[in-house]
Structures are given as C-alpha cells and as structure tokens.
Chains A and B, each alone.
Chain A
C-alpha cells in the first residue's frame, strides 16, 4: 500500500517561500510525475515527501499515517537520485544489500532478493564490481535495484535519467515503466522533460513557482490544459499561442492551437505566412512560419514529408474544434 497525501504542505527557506500551501493525493499504485521548469519546486516537493527536508507547515500522510515528523529512514520509501548516489566503497551486491542490512533482513532472504533484482535489471554479471567500474546506465540500474529490494511503500525518482545520453534515456524510460507495470507500486517521478512525463505517467502534476498549475492524466493535460502555462508546457513542439484581434474574434484573450492541429496549403487558407525553417524528420515535418501577423512564429506539424522551401508563401488553417481559448487571466474558457 502506498497512498501519499499532502495536506496544506508548504516549504520556506528563510524568508523565501518555495512551496505555498498545497494539497495533493497520490493514489496507491499510481505513477505520478511532477513536471515543471527548473526551479519550480518539484524536487523540493519530492524531498518533503521523502523526509529529507522538513515541511514548514502542513501534514504528509503515507498510507493514512501522519508521517510529517517521521525521519526518512522510517517512512518506508525508496529513492533514486539523479547522481545515482551509490556507495562507492561497496560492491554492487553490497550496495543493493544495504537497505536490507539496515532492516535486519536475514542473509538468505537478502541473497534471494539480490539475485532476483540483479536478474530483472541485467546486473547479474556485475554484482562484484564497484560502482566506479560501471557505465552510467548500469549505475542507474543499481540504484533502482537498491530501491526495489526494500519493497517500499512508494518509489521516489528525482530526475533519474537526466545524466544519461538520449538513447539510453529512452531505454531506461521503458524499463522504469515496465517495472511499474510489474510491481504496481506507487511511484513519484520528478522531471523537467515533458516527454518523460507524457509517456510514463498515470497522473501528471504540473508545477510552476511552487504552485500546482494542473493535475491530470497526460491526455487530459494535452486536450484540456487549464491555463496558458500548461498549454505551452505540455506538447512537443509547443502549442502556438495567439493574442490580439484574431483571439478576440473568437471571444478569447488568447487562443492556442497545437502544431499538429493546423492544416497546410500552398494556395489558400485562414492565415497567410512565409516559410522560415522546415525540419524534415521523415515521419513528420515541422514548419516554422513567419510573417503571419499573429505571433513571432507559428509552428505546424505535418505527418509525412512535404516539399517546402525557405521563403515560400504558405497558408494555414486551424482545425476549429481543436482550438483552445483562454481569458485575460490565462485561464481556460470552455
């Protein structure tokens, strides 16, 4: 069981409030991702849940038990750090065994769990090595192994993939998702990468300056962003946000249209512009359009390849049913 409840939790460092009082519930077995730009307080929030930082006010309950003042060692949570934080003086086996040693689990059971974790994480051949002799991906797997064997109430991941190269990142992303499918344990995952958030999460919490901007499933956030910030943050390439006359015509202060929800024509359409850069990915083409009079740049995404050249005149037509409208406060208008 691993339901985690934050009740009016806030955090200040000196006079600076980094997290204003907030409420959040992470259900048992859920894969919850905290996402937001750097400095938004997502790591601090995770560290509050872990107990590595003390809350300034409010309460944290784990499995219905008030754990606000419980030290990290007693919360029954496991954490995977960005820097892996392995014990450099211990072998992989001893690293993985460490939490079980602290919990006084008998040695036969320790070995059984180590073997099982090593098998699941492809670490069997490396058990007697030191962390210094492993690659980044292997180290991260050791860190995950160390977390698994504790059989924690919940896993906490603090940007675990940001030290890995792009290819490895995609692989580890899948491994962590599969781990979640298999264990069905609560996971809280902090990242600044919205692609990681979209692909892994059951529930995404979008944070900005300590405030929760929106909580929802990846597709809820994609289809119904509650405000301009979430609209611009979730989705790649970013949503085009247009203010001014064109928005007022539709009864909004700001309208948003995703690059994939814009039709393109070389002859006619709603908006006229000039092709800037076209990025050909094979499966898709991203065209950055200038001189539309709407915004500095409008990005459109077309499935497959299209032959356009720099400077070509191009016509864009937004799919009206996919248009997002926001008021002057930046809030969504239904």
Chain B
C-alpha cells in the first residue's frame, strides 16, 4: 500500500513539475511558434497552435532589414565584458570579505545588496548626464561599465558564498609555502573556486544579456545590443507580431543554447552551499 502511495505521489509530482515548467516556458514557446507564422496567422482569432503554414519569411525579412550580426556582437561584448570586469573586481573583494572579515563586512554585503532594491529609473537621470559628460553615450565601454556595476553586488555575493566554503587552512598553507597574496588568489583560491566562479560567470552573462533598461536608454545605434534589436520591431511601424517574434527568437537563441548546455553547472552552482 505504502508503495502504491509513493508511486502515485511520484506521478503527481512529476506531472506538477512538468505543468509548472511548461507554464513558465509557454510564452517562449509561443514566441518561437509565432515567428514561423504569417502576420495574419499571428493575430488570428482563435489562435492557431501548430496547424499553420510554416514559413521562414519573417527571419529573412528581419535579416534583410537589420544588421543582426552587429547587434549580436554588441551583446556579446557588453555581456562578456561586464561579466569579465565584474569577476576581476569581485574576486579580491569576495576574498577579503570571506577570509579577512571585519566587523562591518556583513553590513557592507547587505548595503551592496540594498542597491539592487533601488529602481534603476531612479538613477537614470544622473547616469545619463554623466554619460553625456564623459562621452560614453551609445558606447559599448559605457554599457560594460554600467552593467558591471549593476551586477557587481550579485557577483560579490555569489563568490563570497563560494569562498566561505573553502577551508582557510589551505590558504594559510599557501602563505606558509611562500605564496604572496597575488599567488595565493591566482594559484590556490581561484582554481579551487572554479565551479563557483563558472556558475557566477554564467548567471551574470545571462543577466547582462537580457538587461533591457540601461541598454535601451543609453544606446542609439552604434552600441545597441540584441535587446534594442527586439525593441526596434515593436511600436513605431505598427505591430508586426510575427517579425517581432522572429527577432526575439534570434535574440534569445544564443543565450538559450548556452543555458541549455550549462544547465548542470548552473543548477549545481546556484544550490552550492545550500545543503552542507
């Protein structure tokens, strides 16, 4: 009897998990499906799910009309650059917080996190003015810096959590073995924290890739990444759902593929230290 109950439970749990998963994934699935429809089918009522004339026309129009590769390249540079810069800044910061904490370390961590509670629009004006004065408007450099700063609290927090799990004695052993601080971080701490650093890099890359507020507000043409590419298909020319969907699909495809291949790494990284 007990066996039957657990079996039943298992089925219910699995079904529920699939249900929730599909619910979350549905908008993305719908976008992908719509990208293969004609504009008329895209807005047909009742909507068609699979029984439509599959077409690649939207993709060819989108490719013709805008320079996808330029947007893609900007996205790669901005997401990659801000993540790399963030890691370079955050590793020493997280090292000091994890291994030589002061009385104020916890406060600093919370304070850093609290900056994430401020709506980004609240600082748009000062940052915009700053960008004009520094000549950073519509430059990839400017966006790399802004996105790095936006994600820095998360990077530091994640690395801090991983570093806390590394026994201090190993770093002390390195010090006794003649390693200076730089060598200790480079040869001992970083290699040991590779799984943690990898999942931090992945998550931040995804966050930076999908970031829309700053990328839309601080770029025009030159530095515009894929978020701007999607946005360019929304309002001005009236609504072209199918083309918008095609653009969206093209924008999310690279990160979706990256996420798919690194999901194991991501999950283990995000739950790291949760169960000891």
Residues of chain A whose beta carbon lies under 8 Å from any beta carbon of chain B: 50-52, 71-74, 77-79, 81-83, 85-89, 98-99, 102-103, 146, 150, 156
Contact in complex: B177, A52 (CB < 8 Å):
no
Contact in complex: A102, B172 (CB < 8 Å):
no
Residues of B within 8 A of A74 (CB): 178
Contact in complex: A89, B179 (CB < 8 Å):
no
State A146–B176 Cα separation when bound (angstroms): 11
Q: Given B167, B177, B192, B194, which contacts A102 in the complex, CB threshold below 8 Å?
A: B177
Residue B15 at the chain A interface, CB threshold 8 Å:
no
Min C-beta distance of B188 to chain A, whole Å: 6
Binary contact track B171-188/A, C-beta < 8 Å → 1, others 0: 011111111100100011
Can you list 26 A-B contacts with CB-CB less than 8 angstroms, sorted by A residue number? A52-B172, A71-B175, A72-B175, A72-B176, A73-B175, A73-B176, A73-B179, A78-B176, A79-B172, A79-B173, A79-B176, A82-B169, A85-B167, A85-B170, A87-B170, A87-B173, A87-B174, A87-B188, A89-B191, A98-B174, A98-B187, A99-B178, A102-B183, A103-B178, A146-B177, A150-B177
State A73–B172 Cα separation when bound (angstroms): 10
Residues of A within 8 A of B170 (CB): 85-88
Min C-beta distance of A99 to chain B, whole Å: 4
Knowing that A85-B172, A89-B192 are A-B contacts, what are 11 other residue pairs whose CB atoms are under 8 Å apart, sorted by A's residue number? A51-B175, A52-B175, A77-B176, A79-B173, A81-B172, A87-B170, A87-B192, A98-B174, A98-B179, A102-B177, A150-B178
Indicate whether A50 sits within 8 Å of B176 (C-beta atoms), given known contacts A87-B188, A88-B192.
Answer: yes
B residues contacting the other copy or chain, number (CB 8 A): 18
Min C-beta distance of A173 to chain B, whole Å: 22
Residues of A within 8 A of B177 (CB): 73, 78, 98-99, 102, 146, 150
Residues of B within 8 A of A99 (CB): 177-178
Contact in complex: A81, B173 (CB < 8 Å):
yes
State A169–B170 Cα separation when bound (angstroms): 22
Residues of B within 8 A of A78 (CB): 176-177
Residues of A within 8 A of B172 (CB): 52, 72, 79, 81, 85
Across chains A and B, which 10 residue pairs bring their CB atoms closest together, nearest first?
Answer: A102-B178, A85-B173, A99-B177, A85-B169, A79-B176, A72-B175, A89-B191, A73-B178, A85-B170, A81-B169
Interface-central residue, B170, B176, B179, B183, by most chain A CB under 10 Å: B176
**A52 to chain B: closest residue by CB:** B172
Min C-beta distance of B271 to chain A, whole Å: 20
State A85–B183 Cα separation when bound (angstroms): 17
State A241–B183 Cα separation when bound (angstroms): 54
Contact in complex: B178, A83 (CB < 8 Å):
no
Contact in complex: B180, A73 (CB < 8 Å):
yes
State A73–B169 Cα separation when bound (angstroms): 14
Binary contact track B37-76/A, C-beta < 8 Å → 1, others 0: 0000000000000000000000000000000000000000
Residues of A within 8 A of B188 (CB): 87
Interface-central residue, A71, A98, A150, by most chain B CB under 10 Å: A98
**B169 to chain A: closest residue by CB:** A85
State A99–B191 Cα separation when bound (angstroms): 17
Min C-beta distance of B183 to chain A, whole Å: 6
Residues of A within 8 A of B187 (CB): 98
Min C-beta distance of B89 to chain A, whole Å: 24
Contact in complex: B179, A83 (CB < 8 Å):
no
Min C-beta distance of B168 to chain A, whole Å: 9
State A86–B188 Cα separation when bound (angstroms): 10
Q: Given A50, A83, A146, which contacts B167 in the complex, CB threshold below 8 Å?
A: A83
**A72 to chain B: closest residue by CB:** B175
Residues of B within 8 A of A98 (CB): 174, 177, 179, 187
State A83–B167 Cα separation when bound (angstroms): 9
Which residues of chain B in 153-178 are interfacial with respect to chain A, using CB atoms and an 8 Å cutoff? Answer: 167, 169-170, 172-178
Residues of B within 8 A of A103 (CB): 178
State A50–B174 Cα separation when bound (angstroms): 12
